[in-house]
Chain A
């Protein structure tokens, strides 16, 4: 049964008609043309689908649209207006991506970490990022980029 939903995504109200069980991942990808959020496993094990729910990293493949209400969802497309969030800048500085597929999820998890901890230690990073798999193995660069972003002055 299709139902009507009003969502708050990247600061905008978006309306969709979908089955209430539909995970936000597929609402974003199939219905709202926001394909930056990736499908990787569908069972919250790889982190490719990570978005922010009120600034906290969540796996959008496990978040049914019916559970979201008017809570604030931020996707990779809305992390910054100009693609210049300190994390995004640090990712470019370290030229982190290889294939790039998991990187939106990595960036969303990393930026949520910095929302809560502006000076994460190595083990803080390891535990926060544990749920994000990078099959290309860019882990060491990701860690370096997170530290660069944490040290940047424009991190609020």
Chain B
């Protein structure tokens, strides 16, 4: 065991009455109405004892663990409590998991984003369990009048072997709850883990498969009305006026009005998306009736002016420039092309790339592009708001509750203490729900109505609102010497409105002469973080390019990468390389072995490979493609991952499988295009997402076994598979793919 000082969030471990009386209790206990875990065998206890902000123990030994972070499908509602339960040393079958309320005093970083929940909760969650365990031991020591050091624990039991005394956690919980919080705790050795590293089922699994209300859109309260919005039909336009004469007389409609999400002079927060600030609102008694009235609302639109705004991004002021005009995808393509051949801002330079390129015998130059993408969470944007003079209660799906609380506070002119945000399970996030304008809109609408409302976006509202993955371009150039060694490498990456460049990632560090440049072009089409921001394009582009370079060098694509990584490890170029070369090579070696890369030479199987490092984790793929009736079909994907210790292996595998399917789907089919500012896709009849028959027939996920503190998994499996897909398509069809989506008309066979 190692002794760890409690430094992180010490306040979290101190008993707090906030927990019992604070945000957790809803009007009619909606979120907790069905909170029993499926394997529950014990009845609920008569009394609960709060040990700290993360957990309470019942008199019968049941343990309630609060899951602090928002659940978007990454399964933190199971894996985060597992960390607490491990160090508490309780029986997982005795654990009830509850979604914690937003409480910035008790919990740190209640945010779902950047694949950081487990990484950043790793210490604090384990310490929450370990301090509680220490307090239970202390309580038993006092009760039995023995030394605490002689007491051991196992699966919810306190054991004093010398005297033969034994008690359940529940028997000591009342005393433990009154004890001082220890100033240091012992954390388990990795080898002693019983819960971490063993697969545990999704704690909400049975509620999901039986259709229990879990999601924001499922939320209801007494007197609640339904609100829907109408936003401008095109980026670059704004609301001029509305004629609501027909809409407001439609059945079930209470009111029609307009709102400004942010008032003029409002200083934007990090996640205050501002695509269409002024919108029309229709409020009525049922969703269907409001949808019908929406069709009858006549709105007049006008051209929006260019604007420059200051955005406060976690204390850093960023200037956001929004040009006027109506943009089209055809214009964007011209911009990408034009900018990509101009010299751009050099972000990193090693050696003398100019001289090396002159010396090179073989030069390879390629360009890659991708379109804007809509997140398309299956649950459209929505939020419940009940705003009165005194307080605001907001319930729904949001990845950034603690940040949006600030925005709502500013917008309503109400102190944050009076704002209560409840997190529901989210029907997908992928970054979309970092941007909580819909939460602010719901609050403003409820304030105007003086009544609780649930704001519901239609699929069309959702898909055409913006916050898209940017459109990117990457130009690559590689130089080989007469011995086919890679002696010079250039990347110039840009996009609308940001560059996807990660200048210090591989192959930086492995090439003597290296230059990385970036550029960007402003747009009034709003963008946001989309699962593995920037990596979600640049990984696939880079890995497809390296495949061509390996081919030109006459080398096996995996061996080619491994050679470069050996160089990056033994004699790294530059000092800012942001990856560990041995771990990078580790996933490539693992996938090479598992896919039997060197020996499996079936002529009917076309294999592509790729590897990437982002969001602190390493992923390598081998993708097997076969041709069925002349069409390429993804037969199997092998995936090797190094994300340190794997907390919940089967759930981690599921998340990786999903990331691979998602990566293949978006690279292959998806695009958001524009004509005169109007999104050309607004629902799933025009916007292609991958479907059942197009998913890989088989997926095999392997994790590197090590004892390194865990890193994230929501994002890393998503980007590299796009490269593996492109490379396999080349082997299967003889055609290199440079522009996503790879297939724009018909679905893959299969």
Whether A141 lies near B657 (C-beta < 8 A) is yes
In the docked arrangement, what's the CA distance between A135 and B530, Å? 13
Whether B206 lies near A40 (C-beta < 8 A) is no
In the docked arrangement, what's the CA distance between A136 and B658, Å? 5
Whether B378 lies near A40 (C-beta < 8 A) is yes
The answer to whether the Cβ of B260 comes within 8 Å of any Cβ in the partner chain is no
The answer to whether the Cβ of A129 comes within 8 Å of any Cβ in the partner chain is yes
Size of chain A's interface in residues, with CB distance under 8 A?
A: 63
**Which stretch of B68-76, B326-334, B533-541 is in the interface?**
B68-76
Whether B209 lies near A92 (C-beta < 8 A) is yes
Q: Which residue of A lies closest to B218 (CB)?
A: A35
A35-B218, A92-B201 as given contacts; A140 in contact with B209, CB under 8 Å: no
The answer to whether the Cβ of B166 comes within 8 Å of any Cβ in the partner chain is no
A19-B289, A143-B692 as given contacts; A95 in contact with B662, CB under 8 Å: no
Whether B693 lies near A26 (C-beta < 8 A) is no
The B interface is mostly helix, strand or loop, or mixed, namely loop
In the docked arrangement, what's the CA distance between A100 and B377, Å? 11
The answer to whether the Cβ of B419 comes within 8 Å of any Cβ in the partner chain is no
Digit string of B673-687 for contact with A (CB within 8 Å is 1, else 0)?
000000000011100
CB neighbors of B among A1-60 (8 A): 1-2, 18-19, 21-23, 26, 29-31, 33-43, 45-46, 48
Digit string of A84-118 for contact with B (CB within 8 Å is 1, else 0)?
00001001100111111111100100000000000
Digit string of A66-84 for contact with B (CB within 8 Å is 1, else 0)?
0000000001110100010
The answer to whether the Cβ of B132 comes within 8 Å of any Cβ in the partner chain is no
Whether B378 lies near A140 (C-beta < 8 A) is no
Whether A138 lies near B658 (C-beta < 8 A) is yes
A41-B684, A137-B657 as given contacts; A30 in contact with B427, CB under 8 Å: no
CB neighbors of A among B133-153 (8 A): none
Whether A38 lies near B217 (C-beta < 8 A) is yes
Q: Within the complex, which residue of A29, A41, A97, A122 is in contact with B209, where a contact is CB–CB below 8 Å? A: A97
Q: Within the complex, which residue of A46, A107, A125 is in contact with B378, where a contact is CB–CB below 8 Å? A: A46
Whether B659 lies near A133 (C-beta < 8 A) is no
A40-B378, A91-B209, A99-B428 as given contacts; A140 in contact with B659, CB under 8 Å: no
Whether A140 lies near B696 (C-beta < 8 A) is yes
In the docked arrangement, what's the CA distance between A127 and B691, Å? 10
In the docked arrangement, what's the CA distance between A126 and B750, Å? 8
The answer to whether the Cβ of B445 comes within 8 Å of any Cβ in the partner chain is no
Whether A140 lies near B695 (C-beta < 8 A) is yes
Digit string of B190-211 for contact with A (CB within 8 Å is 1, else 0)?
0000000001011011101111
A76-B211, A98-B75, A138-B658 as given contacts; A19 in contact with B651, CB under 8 Å: no
Whether A99 lies near B72 (C-beta < 8 A) is yes
Q: Within the complex, which residue of B208, B697, B750 is in contact with A97, where a contact is CB–CB below 8 Å? A: B208
Whether A88 lies near B287 (C-beta < 8 A) is no
Whether B690 lies near A98 (C-beta < 8 A) is no
Whether A42 lies near B459 (C-beta < 8 A) is yes
Whether A43 lies near B685 (C-beta < 8 A) is yes
Whether A39 lies near B689 (C-beta < 8 A) is no
The answer to whether the Cβ of B451 comes within 8 Å of any Cβ in the partner chain is no
In the docked arrangement, what's the CA distance between A57 and B593, Å? 44
Digit string of B207-229 for contact with A (CB within 8 Å is 1, else 0)?
01111111101101000001000
In the docked arrangement, what's the CA distance between A100 and B689, Å? 17
Most buried by A among B425, B684, B698: B684
Digit string of B395-435 for contact with A (CB within 8 Å is 1, else 0)?
00000000000000000000000000000011111100000
Whether B685 lies near A136 (C-beta < 8 A) is no
Q: Within the complex, which residue of A2, A33, A76, A139 is in contact with B692, where a contact is CB–CB below 8 Å? A: A139
Closest-CB distance, A84 to chain B (whole angstroms): 9
Whether A100 lies near B425 (C-beta < 8 A) is yes
Closest-CB distance, A23 to chain B (whole angstroms): 7
In the docked arrangement, what's the CA distance between A136 and B662, Å? 7
- B690: chain A residues at CB < 8 Å are 137, 139
Whether B210 lies near A88 (C-beta < 8 A) is yes
Whether A133 lies near B689 (C-beta < 8 A) is yes
A39-B380, A138-B657 as given contacts; A99 in contact with B73, CB under 8 Å: yes
Whether B74 lies near A135 (C-beta < 8 A) is no
Q: Which residue of A lies closest to B691 (CB)?
A: A130
A97-B205, A100-B214, A137-B665 as given contacts; A30 in contact with B683, CB under 8 Å: no
The answer to whether the Cβ of A142 comes within 8 Å of any Cβ in the partner chain is yes
The answer to whether the Cβ of B350 comes within 8 Å of any Cβ in the partner chain is no
Q: Which residue of A lies closest to B201 (CB)?
A: A95
- B651: chain A residues at CB < 8 Å are 95
Whether A38 lies near B427 (C-beta < 8 A) is yes
A-B pairs with the 7 shortest C-beta distances? A36-B211, A101-B427, A137-B661, A99-B73, A76-B211, A126-B693, A137-B658
Supply 7 further A-B pairs (C-beta < 8 A) apart from A97-B202, A126-B692. A35-B220, A39-B217, A43-B685, A99-B72, A101-B427, A101-B428, A132-B691
* 22 pairs, CB–CB < 8 Å, chain A vs chain B: A19-B292, A30-B288, A31-B286, A39-B287, A48-B378, A83-B210, A95-B650, A95-B651, A97-B202, A97-B208, A103-B208, A123-B693, A129-B692, A135-B689, A136-B428, A137-B661, A137-B662, A137-B695, A138-B654, A138-B661, A139-B691, A140-B657
